[in-house]
Structure 1
Amino acid sequence: MTAVDFLPFVDRLAQISGEAIMPFFRAAFAMEDKSGGGVFDPVTEADRAAEAAMRRLIKESFPNHGVIGEEFGAWGEMSEYVWVLDPIDGTKSFISGLPLWGTLIGLLHQGSPCYGLMHQPFTREKFYGDGAEAHWSGRGARHGENATRRLLTRACAGLDRATLMTTSPKLIPEALRPRYEALEAKTRLVRYGGDCYAYCMLAAGHVDLVVEAGLNAYDIVALIPIVRGAGGVVTTWDGGDPSKGGAIVAAGDRRTHEQALEVLNADL
């Protein structure tokens, strides 16, 4: 099977996760702090309900596939196909009533990301890609009809012309923060917040750089085929494989990516 063969199934995962999440959005619900006294890291009933629903469907439909999820851990992670799930990426925005969150559904084939989807059920948008192409689907501007368009990153010749996004500089470990700050100082515009939405806006050609650190696999696997399918580049800060998470830099233009790596790896 190829990634294309799984597309109807990915849409079903998006549908059932959205149905599990939406009754909680902008409503009263239970919430816990997973940080153990560190940086506030909330988890909600919606996170757990959505991931549980997706896991059940995967196990019923593809019992030989593995799953890695934020809320319930990993099983079968050495399988040929492994689903990587983040039911609500951007939980802090979710609990604040802001629509800058999404459900991430990624698929690994023999350890490499082969397909990814970001679903935002409140705005009814989907961003998806297979590493070769990426697309957006949602409501069109006219009469609210369904629309689809291809995603393409925009050209950006240098950092001095770049719009940079990160969820929050405070989430970057202190040891790495001076490198991030040196990069931020060289860019034209900086915006905070966004989580998975930042990568999708990069793929759509509205943002030039996304730089983060301390990510897990479930935070990034689904986004890699979207960014690459739109013509962008995504690596770790040292230029390595981003699929395991860690310190991540994504760029819409290879020139900007190369310049970002130079700054992030320079001696300070």
Structure 2
Amino acid sequence: MTEFWTEIYNFAQTTTTRIGIKLLTDYGQLEPDFKADGSLVTQADKWADREIQNAIYDHFPSHDVLTEEGSHVFSGAEWCWVIDPIDGTTNFTRGIPIWGISLGLVYQGMPIFGYVHFPNINQSFHGYWYGNSQSDRANGAFLNNIPIHTSKDNPSNNHFFNICARSTAILQSPIPCKIRMLGVTTYDFLSVANGAALGGVESTPKVWDLAAVWSIVQAAGGVFVNLGEEVPFPLQAGEDYGDRSYPTLVVSRPELISTFKPLVEFLGKR
């Protein structure tokens, strides 16, 4: 690992650990407010957002930030962090332990590094993704610094497929796995990366839900399938991503696209 990537990793680890320790004191204790889109936000979300932004600007003054609770406009900066200070705010407010802090690093509009820390369950995922090119930089995905890979299994009633609350209509489809609803976009997709699930679908994820896991899932062997007309990446300079959703399917390997996509692709047409 080069000195630059060591610095990136250490920053992400240190920052999310520090933020997570404070958030654990607020976990299950705060009353949320409603945002314009109906999602929840707490003072903890806003505090964590400010803390992460300030840390980024202090350590990487040439980098920009795009965040759920702050600026939604991509400036076109060569390096940009896309952050979700608490992914799974509903779980966080209701005392359900799966929620995380998500940091994605974007280079020229494309995610190439992701770090997601889940304080309550003591799991930290990170990964590097340089695409399928013959790069001298190695792709890699890790859980608590141990390499992870997607499952090579075939679907069965003993395997999992994750859905979100807005995609329950697919329960009428013959999904060839057990269904799970975890309530956290990043964890839905990361459970595919570490082999716990064979696939997952989210009907309304935003770029800050996808930026970190984009690198980790693909480095682990997983595949993103865009179900809508627009693709989330590369980010486009001057675009406001605040109200844009990207219906997304993730599967553990390319061969499963034909199994799951026909059952969920209607979510991209609603």
TM-score range, shorter chain: 0.7 to 0.9
**TM alignment of 1:204-215, pairs within 5 A:** 204-215=194-205
TM-superposed CA distance for 1:240, in Å, is 7.3
CA distance in 1, matches of 2:34, 2:96: 19
Q: Does 1:150 align with 2:147?
A: yes
Q: 1:249 to 1:76 in 2, by over 3 A?
A: closer
Equivalent residue of 1:72, what SS?
coil
CA distance in 2, matches of 1:190, 1:45: 32
Contact 1:3 1:130 in 2 (8 A): no
Contact 1:94 1:100 in 2 (8 A): yes
- Deviation digits for residues 96-145 of structure 1, max 9, x if unmatched? 101111111101001111011110122222011112211111xxxxxxxx
Which residue pairs with 2:241 in the alignment? Answer: none
**TM alignment of 1:81-230, pairs within 5 A:** 81-131=79-129, 132-137=139-144, 148-158=145-155, 163-168=160-165, 171-172=166-167, 180-181=170-171, 184-195=173-184, 196-230=186-220
In proportion to residue count, which structure has more strand? 1
Equivalent residue of 2:204, what SS?
strand
- Deviation digits for residues 140-189 of structure 1, max 9, x if unmatched? xxxxxxxx421111013358775210121xx24xxxx76x456x423221
TM-superposed CA distance for 1:31, in Å, is 2.1
Q: 1:76 to 1:252 in 2, by over 3 A?
A: closer
CA distance in 1, matches of 2:25, 2:164: 25
Q: 1:123 to 1:135 in 2, by over 3 A?
A: same
Task: State which of 17, 20, 34 in structure 2 corresponds to 1:18.
Answer: 20
Contact 1:47 1:88 in 2 (8 A): yes
CA distance in 2, matches of 1:227, 1:240: 20
Letter aligned with residue 15 of structure 2: L
Q: Identity of aligned pairs, percent?
A: 23
Which residue pairs with 2:134 in the alignment? Answer: none
TM-superposed CA distance for 1:5, in Å, is 4.3
Contact 1:165 1:191 in 2 (8 A): yes
Contact 2:151 2:252 in 1 (8 A): yes
Contact 1:235 1:241 in 2 (8 A): no
Which residue pairs with 1:8 in the alignment? Answer: 10
Which residue pairs with 2:64 in the alignment? Answer: 66
Which residue pairs with 1:248 in the alignment? Answer: 248
CA distance in 2, matches of 1:224, 1:50: 22
Letter aligned with residue 259 of structure 2: Q
Equivalent residue of 2:90, what SS?
helix
Count of aligned pairs: 245
Contact 1:157 1:253 in 2 (8 A): no
Equivalent residue of 1:260, what SS?
helix
Equivalent residue of 1:154, what SS?
coil
Contact 2:158 2:177 in 1 (8 A): yes
Contact 1:157 1:255 in 2 (8 A): no
Letter aligned with residue 258 of structure 1: S
Equivalent residue of 2:200, what SS?
strand
Q: 1:241 to 1:2 in 2, by over 3 A?
A: farther
CA distance in 1, matches of 2:194, 2:216: 10
Q: 1:161 to 1:253 in 2, by over 3 A?
A: farther
Which blocks of at least 5 consecutive residues in structure 2 are unaligned? 130-138, 236-244
TM-score by length of 2: 0.81
Contact 2:201 2:249 in 1 (8 A): yes
Q: Does 1:236 align with 2:226?
A: yes
- Deviation digits for residues 22-74 of structure 1, max 9, x if unmatched? 220133x24211146xx4x1101111111100100111222221111111124
Q: 1:74 to 1:240 in 2, by over 3 A?
A: closer
